[in-house]
Structure 1
Amino acid sequence: MNIQKSIAPKAHPDIVWTRMFSELDRDGQGLNVQIRRTIVYAIQAGVLTGGTRLPSSRHLAGLLAVARNTVTAAYQLLIDEGFLVSRERSGIFVAAQQRYVPTSLNTCDDDVAQWSGRFAVRPSAQRQINKPRDWLEHPYPFLFGQFDPAIFPTNNWREAVRATSSVKEIYGWAGDQIDDDDPDLLEQLRVQVLPKRGIFAGPGEIIVTIGSQQALSMLVQLFVGAKTAVGIEDPGYPDVRNMVGLVTEDVRHLSADAQGVLADDVLSGCDVAFLTVGHQCPTTAVMPIARRKALLEAAYRNHVIIVEDDYEADLALDGEAELPCLKSLDHHGQVIYVGSFSKALAPGLRIGYIVAPKPVIDELRVLRRMLLRHPPTNNQRILATFIALGHYHQHLRKTGTVLAQRAAILNNCLPKLLPQCSWRRDAGAKSFWVEGPEAFDSRELVRAARERGVLIEAGDIFFDDPDAGRRFFRLGFTSISENKIAAGLKILGELIEG
């Protein structure tokens, strides 16, 4: 917040108050809430000191061009909470406050050197996924994994929040669950979500996680030791490569072709293999049924545990049927299934899950309890209610239609606007995997495109050898509106042409 340094306890020019509230967002959070937050922040930062008189509700409403009852309600709540006091015939004043003055910690280069020598692992030394935090500020965000606020089911989500906010409901989810999950969410997963993927989980065979990221991390901790042979895809999901690389040096790149991972000796020699079968990350390849069955047979013969990261599950695009997941074909319990609501609903929700035999889930519950006990139960209950009310499936149908239209626009525009490139997108995928011409470097394109408001993902991060991915980049379409696609591609084509 950009608030001037301090305001003495007396009347002040209107410009001071106008400037204090200059960041009100008319399209954002409720104005009542924003006014309260601004005043609380100013008090706690010492900008508004004890005894400062605030403008009357009528006067401030006029300065901010908001309804008077909006300001009156904000003032009253702050009075109830002890931030403001009302003095009869005098007005509204800042209450006397004990101000917290933060102290800075002294750090120097010697501290950095001292700590760096004590780290058992150095995650920061690995190549990391780097997506712009301010992606919403760019007009052409071709980013995979982000969501479009315009198609989020706001009203239906609010209904689910209200339904779980009664006193009785709060008693049900507010307590410490130790290592349990919300029973309503587990039931909705078993009854409404997983059967669509061909998975019928029994009691004790599901655990909820903070997104698929925590699910993968816990599975690495549970199954991968210093001498464990782990198979990963190359190109593949960078964080899996990094997670595994922190634990074992026996990392094996699985053989693959245009249809995905091969059931060969490399796979058979692994103890654990991490696969993206539904849509290979990042190429979007959908593995055919025959290949999936061959992988399972190889895993059975050689006792290979397969972790299936079905990161794009549920959100089938209109008219594009998806094949049954690997877990649905597994009759020996060797496939551990990882799912998430991030791609289908919203990444910020941070709810994922693991489906596995009960002995595996039992160990994961103990491991998760040691790490964080359990994911927030209120979020679990809200999501369970959202699904139970039928809103989730309605959202999937609506979103699938919207994304199918965006995919069609990209299909039509790419040959005209990026003729220098080739690309791939298998049915149901929410991104295009693009290969540029000879001598093309997608990393340079990413930098140049960002300056013109276009966000894309360079392909090098997905490869163990960055140079192998130099010519590739990924175009996601979950976060960009239809009317921006052609203009964004036109800018990319101009930059590639040089």
Structure 2
Amino acid sequence: MLERYLHPFEAGRGLQEQLRERLLNAILDGAMPPSEAMPSSRKLSELLKISRNTVVLVYEHLVQDGYLIPSDRRGYFINEKFLHQQLNVSLRASSQKLFDRPDHAPDWGRRMQTESAQMRAIIKPRNWREYRYPFIYGQVEADEQTAVRWRDCARIAAMGAHMRCWVDDQVTLDDPLLVEQIIARVLPKRGIKAGPEEILVTIGTQNSLYMLAQLLGRPGLIMGLEDPGYVDARNIFGLSGCDLRPLRIDGQGLVVDKQLDGCDMLFCTPSHQSPTGVTMPVYRRMELLASARERDFLVIEDDYESEQNYLGSNHPALKSFDDSGRVIYLGSLTKNLLPGLRLGFIAADPELIHELRALRRYIYRHPPSNNQRTLALFLSMGHYDAHARRQRDRLARKWRLISRALAKHLPDCHTSGMAGGSSLWVTGTPELDAWRLQRLVAKRGVLIEPGDIHFLGSERPQYHFRLGFGAIAEELIEPGIVALGEAWREMQGQLQAEPATSM
């Protein structure tokens, strides 16, 4: 039975790690009888075509961890007593259904105060890498140079004085070196000056929004949201009971006019409007701040993709013009670096940060301190800036490729998001059904994202979709757009044939 656990090794992962993982799975699943010895190191190394030393090391580690017991001249045996103590279940009962739902199970529907799972949210396929042409937003191409430098920083963070900074529970505090780097190296690029008392490290923008919604949101509060806009912001403030008001945008972002009357707070993405990618000019940013003072509302600024402006100079952040403390600035530190790390920050008035820090304590205390220190070192050594430069150059090339390909193969489409970023917002002809197009292009290995989910109102146009190009290889962009164009024309042919078919 052991053989079915010993499938081929994966590239890019250590052999010891993978062998240990597979042997443990076999042991915990009861594939090896405790009365029988494990395969000898020689036999297992020959079977797997790996070094015998690798097998011996893995066996010795499993002995040290209590899973195996060595026996002179007989080999290694499963430590059944240890497993019983750890799992409190016999290996022979591993097939027992431990989680059958009993008749007296609680009625969760009656008890739950919110139904987050029922909210309209963006769904991204977990198997997106299996698509040949993944035009998916929010993912990046693997950058081996960045990964190597991150590993170096993680190694340094695990040594000496650096390690002493993160082994203890910091309760409410952030890594002082990371806060220092945010103040000295990140915020100045956006024109923002801040002190340590104005910074809170979070585990990403969604977490920042959730804490703000918990602290500032309430039933009856009028929350203005760009329409189309950022779906997670809409859902997060909806969960807090806020009255959500859709706010019109145009080719320069959020429109500042009478539609802001009555808003208590609003969320906006001035640098690259989410999802259209348009940039709010400086004059309109000044109008928005003046409106906030006159109408007495707060502004949450998500500085979405500001570091990816490769087609012109960056406008200073809205927060940089704020002299009233009304702007709450959200920044991501890892979205375009290593998205799985989930680190960001809030820059805001000290009184608000003080309350957010107290609230964060009761949610998760603080983001993992080892990751904070590793990122601080990554910033201090200049690796973050080097990565950003490489990424801007890479995305600029991709933007030119995808823009030319769309103009050539989908001339009926209009695109926005021309000031940089990692995606294009595509508007088709009124008869376009983006979901139907998505199904057609998927058959050709193309992944696109329909855009109706980004609209707040009941009337959600179906003729928009988003093309992310951060994760797709440059040489695959034009072939992917060619396939998209073919599906587009196939759908148009189907639409023209449908009225005749129905007669």
TM-score in terms of structure 1 length:
0.92
Sequence identity percentage: 41
Q: Deviations over 1:126-151 (max 9, x none)?
A: 21110111212222111111121245
CA–CA separation in structure 2 for the residues paired with 1:103 and 1:166:
45
CA–CA separation in structure 1 for the residues paired with 2:363 and 2:424:
36
Q: Deviations over 1:246-279 (max 9, x none)?
A: 2335322223221111221222421101001100
> What residue in structure 1 maps to residue 467 of structure 2?
475
CA–CA separation in structure 1 for the residues paired with 2:64 and 2:389:
45
Q: Is the 8 A contact 1:314 1:344 kept in 2?
A: no
Q: Deviations over 1:15-36 (max 9, x none)?
A: x53x3211421x1321110001
**Selected match of 1:105 from 92, 99, 106:** 99
Matched letter for residue 394 of structure 1? A
**Selected match of 1:55 from 39, 51, 66:** 39
> What residue in structure 1 maps to residue 225 of structure 2?
232
Matched letter for residue 482 of structure 2? K
Q: Is the 8 A contact 2:165 2:175 kept in 1?
A: no
CA–CA separation in structure 2 for the residues paired with 1:264 and 1:438:
28
Cα offset, 1:426, TM superposition = 2.3
CA–CA separation in structure 2 for the residues paired with 1:52 and 1:445:
57
**Selected match of 1:385 from 377, 386, 398:** 377
**Selected match of 2:76 from 87, 92, 105:** 92
The answer to whether structure 1 residue 287 and structure 2 residue 265 are counterparts is no
Change in Cα spacing, 1:192 to 1:491, as seen in structure 2 (3 Å) is same
Mapping 1:50-449, distance limit 5 Å? 50-96=34-80, 97-99=82-84, 100=87, 101=89, 104-107=98-101, 114-150=107-143, 153-166=146-159, 168-248=161-241, 250-317=243-310, 319-449=311-441
Q: Is the 8 A contact 2:285 2:318 kept in 1?
A: yes
CA–CA separation in structure 2 for the residues paired with 1:109 and 1:93:
41
Query: Could you say what secondary structure the match of 2:169 adopts?
Result: coil
Cα offset, 1:341, TM superposition = 2.1
Q: Is the 8 A contact 2:34 2:79 kept in 1?
A: yes
> What residue in structure 2 maps to residue 7 of structure 1?
none
Q: Please provide the CA RMSD for this pair.
A: 2.0
Query: Could you say what secondary structure the match of 1:464 adopts?
Result: coil
Moved more, 301-310 or 252-261: 252-261
Cα offset, 1:242, TM superposition = 1.4
CA–CA separation in structure 1 for the residues paired with 2:307 and 2:469:
17
Moved more, 405-414 or 164-173: 164-173
CA–CA separation in structure 2 for the residues paired with 1:443 and 1:111:
38
Cα offset, 1:491, TM superposition = 1.5
The answer to whether structure 1 residue 46 and structure 2 residue 30 are counterparts is yes
Q: Is the 8 A contact 2:170 2:366 kept in 1?
A: yes
- Number of aligned residue pairs: 480
Query: Could you say what secondary structure the match of 2:213 adopts?
Result: helix
CA–CA separation in structure 2 for the residues paired with 1:268 and 1:377:
42
Q: Is the 8 A contact 2:67 2:83 kept in 1?
A: no
Q: Is the 8 A contact 2:273 2:304 kept in 1?
A: no
Cα offset, 1:95, TM superposition = 3.0
Structure 1 spans left out of the alignment, 5+ residues = 5-15
Q: Is the 8 A contact 1:164 1:170 kept in 2?
A: yes
Change in Cα spacing, 1:108 to 1:497, as seen in structure 2 (3 Å) is farther
Q: Is the 8 A contact 1:274 1:307 kept in 2?
A: yes
Q: Deviations over 1:440-473 (max 9, x none)?
A: 1101122232333221111010012465330000
Matched letter for residue 80 of structure 1? Q
Structure 2 spans left out of the alignment, 5+ residues = 90-95, 491-503
Query: Could you say what secondary structure the match of 1:452 adopts?
Result: coil
> What residue in structure 2 maps to residue 24 of structure 1?
9
CA–CA separation in structure 1 for the residues paired with 2:54 and 2:186:
42
Q: Is the 8 A contact 2:218 2:242 kept in 1?
A: no
Cα offset, 1:303, TM superposition = 1.6
TM-score in terms of structure 2 length:
0.91
Cα offset, 1:221, TM superposition = 1.5
CA–CA separation in structure 2 for the residues paired with 1:440 and 1:262:
27
**Selected match of 1:37 from 21, 42, 47:** 21
